[in-house]
Every structure is written in C-alpha cells, then in structure tokens.
Structure 1
Amino acid sequence: MFPQVRMRRLRSGKIRDMVRETELSANDLIYPMFVDETIDSTVEVSSMPGVQRLPLDKVVDDAKDAADLGIPALILFGIPEHKDETGTSSYGEEDIVQQAVRAIKEDLGKDMVVMTDVCMCEYTSHGHCGIVNFETEEVLNDPTLDILGKIAVSHAKAGADIVAPSGMMDGMISAMRTALDEENFKNIPIMSYAAKYSSAFYGPFRDAADSGFQFGDRSAYQMDPANSDEAIREVELDILEGADMVMVKPALPYLDIIYRIKHEFKMPTAAYNVSGEYSMLKAAAEKGWLDENKVMYESLMSIKRAGADMILTYFAKDLARMLK
C-alpha cells in the first residue's frame, strides 16, 4: 500500500528499460513488397504514402535496403500484365512473382527470407480469391484448391523460403502441403492466413495490388468481425492440416484474437498490420494530429504485446530506421 509501495520507482532512466516486459526489434518485422509487371518505373500508391509498386528491376534494390536495416523477411505480392477468370498468370515459371523471387534469392541468398502470398485475387479478372460460378456469383472452394497447390509449388521452385496462403478456402493448407510434398518441397513451411477477417481496413491494399473485386464482396469466405471462437476453430484446422505458422489479419482491431490464438496453440503467430491501419496513421500524421513515429511504435508494440511473434507491416522500414 502507498506510501510504502510506489510504482513510479521503476519508471525512470535505465531502470525503466530494465523492467520493460516487451521488446520490439527489426527482427520481428516482415516487409510487404508489390512487384508490378505492367510498369517500368516505380509508382507511388496514392492511398498509402511511402508505399510503391515496383518494376521487376527495382525489387532487388528494395530488398537490399530492407536487409541493410536488419529486416529478416519480406513478402511478395504480384501484379500481372494478364488477368483472366482462372488466374493463369499466377503459377507460371516466368510469371512476375516467380521472377522476383529468383532475382532476390540470387542476389541476397540466405540474408533475406522470401515469403510469397498465395492467392488468386491479384491474378483474376473478377478480383476474387478463387474460381467463380458466374451464374450464381459464388466463389467455388474445391476447384480453387488445385490452383493454390500449383501456385505454391511454382513459388517453391523459384526459391521461396515460405509460402503464405491468404484466400481463406477450406482445405487450402492440406491441398498445398500435399502439392509441395509431392514435388519434394517437404521442407518449405506454410504460414497460413488462418484468421482473416472480412475487414474494411483492406481498402488501400486493393489499390496497391490492383485486386478490387467486380461484384459482391468477400464475406462468403472471409470471417465475420463479430466472431472470435470461429477464429480458434479456423486456426486449429489449419494446424491439423499442416500449417507451420499462423496469422491474424488485420492486427489492431483483433488484438484479442492474437492473444487467444497465441495462448491457445503456442504456435509461431504472425499478425498483419494491414493497409488501412497504416494509411489512417499516415493521414493523421500528415495532418499534424499525431506524432507518426510515436504512434507507429506504440501500435506495433501493442501487436507484439498481444502475442505476435512476427508483424507484417508497411511501417517495417520506417520502424527499423527509427530503432537504429
């Protein structure tokens, strides 16, 4: 009881640092990159200040910048020149992500862990994450699984260290694990977007990745923001199917989900600090309403404190510079 107990005794100088419970470092970060087959110079994403679409010949330089800042991993998203109803530009040997993976691994080797997003939305003409029945406007689960397996194998052949499926198709982890194992990629880990919510915070990403949908929405395959027990079931199923790491997306509105999943499963757990979370802080900082570095650090610290081992964030390079 006060005055014998004074909590402020531990809140100043070096003592404050010594008793800090949670540490945030560049080693916790995964840097998202957009590589665009349709451009020959860097293009700024208007709704995401500081984020660019990169032509193929710029991705290695950007990856080197991240490595020099101590960031250990990146995740690649591709924008193809050709889109069609079944996303055939997603799994070819010379498609854009496959070329980017080879270029980065040839230059940086083991100095950078290269992850790839495995989904169809960037490659389909309709913008949905799977095969579509146009009569009913339904995204078909089971026919999509074979294509996800092909994408994962093509990324592994190109040299990807980790594949990360994001389409929220039932059975996607099992399908990809089987496809990878059959092609002798038994040691390629899968990071599953296991608890991916149907969120309004994805808007700016769809500008960056050119992945807006032409009809309907994605609520039929992404999770209801009202549900938390469902997230536990989703994660458990993905683990049973062979996921090596799991992810919660978005991060800040779902800190409770990150906490529950980490404590329930004790699995390597990632959280995606998504485009809307990034853009709203950037916009407030540009207005002078918030201190950008301080709110960036506090936001990412909250994600780590909730239980995330890894954070995918567009702030990755900014935070790494600040920490240096």
Structure 2
Amino acid sequence: MRAVAFAEFGAAPEVQDIAIPEPAEGEVRVQVRAASVNGIDLAIAAGYLNGMMEHRFPVVLGKDFAGVVDAVGAGVEGYAVGDRVFGVVTKAFLGDGSFGEYVTVPAAVGLATLPDVVSFTEGAALGLAGTAAADAVDAAQLGAGQVVLVAGATGGVGNQAVQLAVRSGATVVATAHSTEEEALVTGLGAVEVVDYREDVAAQILVAHPEGVDAVIHLAGDAAALLPALRDGGRFASTLLGSSEQLPTESATVVPVYASPSTATLDRLAENVAQQHTTVTIERVYPLDQFGQAFADFRAGTVGKLVILID
C-alpha cells in the first residue's frame, strides 16, 4: 500500500510502498478515505518523540482517520466489514499511522461509527481535535450564564471548543486577529472577540472587570492568560502537563489529556450529524502533497487540513 512513512530515525517521511497491515486480535483494519494533520504528526516526523515512544519502522505518520472497515480481527464485536468508521490511532507505539491506504486500530478505543450524513472528510478532521475540545469543555464545567475565554479558537480544536461551549449555554469570548478569523469564530457562536496579538487578559478585563468564569487554553502563554480569570474560576488547558506548571491559589487549573473513547467520538459525530456543530475544513490535499500540508500547518490554519487517500 502507499503510505507516508520514514524508515529510520533522521530520515525524512516520504510516500512509499509498504505491506498492507493485518489486524491483530481486538483490532479492525480500515481502508482509509481521509486523514487530517495534527501537531503530533509534525513532531513525530521531526524526531521530537525519539526516546519517548517505541518506534516500529517503517513509521507511518497520521493519527486521525475516516474510512471503511476492511477486515475484522479475532474477538472484535460491534464492527463488520463495510462499516463506515472514524477515530484516532491510539496504539502505545509509533508505526501504524493513518496517512496510508490502510490502518489497523483497536476496536475498544479510538474508533466509532461514522453516520452516513457525515462525510469522510469531516470525520477525518473530527477525532483528535474534537476529543480534545470536548474534554476541555467538560473540564471547564461550563453552564448557562457563565463567560468563557477560548484561547486558540481559530484552530481545529478551538473551532470545536467554541461550538461545544456555546451549546453548554456559556457566553464565548474567542481569540482571533484577521477579519477572516473573526468571521469564523463569530460564525461558530462566539459573542466577543479579542486579538491574540495583543494583551488578551487586558482586553478581557476591560469588558469583564472581575474576569471570566473559565479559560480554555489551547494556545498562547498560560501565565499571561491567567489574570483574565476571576477568583474561583477554572483554567482548562490542553498544553499543561500538570497544574504545578501554572501555580495559583485563586483558581482551579485542570490539565486536559484528550481521550478518544467511543462514547466521546459518538457524541462528536452525533453533534455533526444533527448539525449542532460543524467541522471547518480549510484545505484538502492528495497524499502526494502531504509535505505542502505540513508546511501549511506550520504556517497556521483556520480550521483543519485534510489529506485524501485515493
């Protein structure tokens, strides 16, 4: 099969022909129709995870995927050949990625059915970003009447977080800079916009002198955002490994670790199917143009970048 992979540490990823994987016990094989780019893909390609995770060469890049079940391993229940699925590759090693024609994934976690009304392109962009957003919004414990700042609102995770926060009943303040970015976040439901190139906390305190009830931290300096939070508020961050990284006695700091359970993925897919939320796709690429997709990701995105698999 054709896949974006690298054969050894230090080698640049390239499209190459490798063997089609076979599903192990408890796994399904998915014929991938689309996969989206995430920061971790670039980190793996750059070697940042060397020594941190086992690498099984050739390492195929890619975490998010959407496609059709092609084979079912022993002991798998709930999935059959031909099922439309999406999710996140969750294996404890690096090697089996989604930037290829096929990928094998555990059926127990990181996999869910993709409703017929949700496209493969949308499904491919939903798994990791949607999970991170859902877990962050849950950690923020939002409710009606509360005000939340979503820092990093223009990215894939932020797009979902804004919409999920709005659905919780909260008033959303989103970060954006350009006219295009402002139009995006307000279209997703943000009521107020602050410029992330300026002092975000200072802008917040002009309109909300006591501070906002919660901060969802997806981008930027956590310490610089903390003054925007009222006493007793919640600071949910996908970028902090522990609450000790942001010492404070006036707020609750909650590090968020995205966990793509089937229940969470089902909830995300149903939201899209019912048009409660949307998935913003900025651009799509053929597999051979993955390098351009990576370059565009590094330059900054408004929404998600998706690689289509022929």
TM range (shorter): under 0.3
TM-score (norm 2): 0.24
Q: Which structure features the higher share of strand residues?
A: 2
TM-score (norm 1): 0.23
